[in-house]
Homo-oligomer: A and B are copies of this chain.
């Protein structure tokens, strides 16, 4: 493989997130069999943050509103979430976490914590901060030219 490609750090960003997601999914599946990484993140997001519209949630989670609609749909089917009407704006829904959803959060929260710790093992706080700022720089470079 050509050196230039092999060493493009953007390849490595892609590789990193894929490995992280793979590990995460595996550890999640060991505890809760019918939930995906993305569903899990949504569940935890909802638990920590109430009152956002789907559009806002999509932004926080870096997802398209279309994707989020479908993720929610599946989670409603699997009885993790419930849609309630929003009285002040009937285009929106209030998402409610079901009892099953809440139990699941209890099971998964430590798994997520563990995944993050595992992934970042051996990196100092300073290194993590640096990584964060370099990635932010790349992100804003990409956004500018859009």
- Residue ranges of A at the interface with B (Cβ–Cβ < 8 Å): 1-2, 5, 7-20, 22-23, 26-27, 44-45, 48-49, 60, 62, 116, 118-123, 127-128, 130-132, 134-139, 141-143, 145-146
Decide if the interface of chain A is mainly helix, strand, loop or mixed. helix
Flag if A13 contacts B19 (CB, 8 Å): no
How long is the Cα–Cα vector from A123 to B141 in the complex, in angstroms? 10
How long is the Cα–Cα vector from A71 to B73 in the complex, in angstroms? 28
Flag if A136 contacts B17 (CB, 8 Å): no
A118 to chain B, nearest CB (A): 6
Instruction: Give the contacting residue for A123; candidates B2, B14, B18, B138; CB below 8 A.
Output: B138
Flag if B23 contacts A146 (CB, 8 Å): yes
A141 touching B127 in the complex, CB below 8 Å, given contacts A2-B49, A5-B48, A9-B132: no
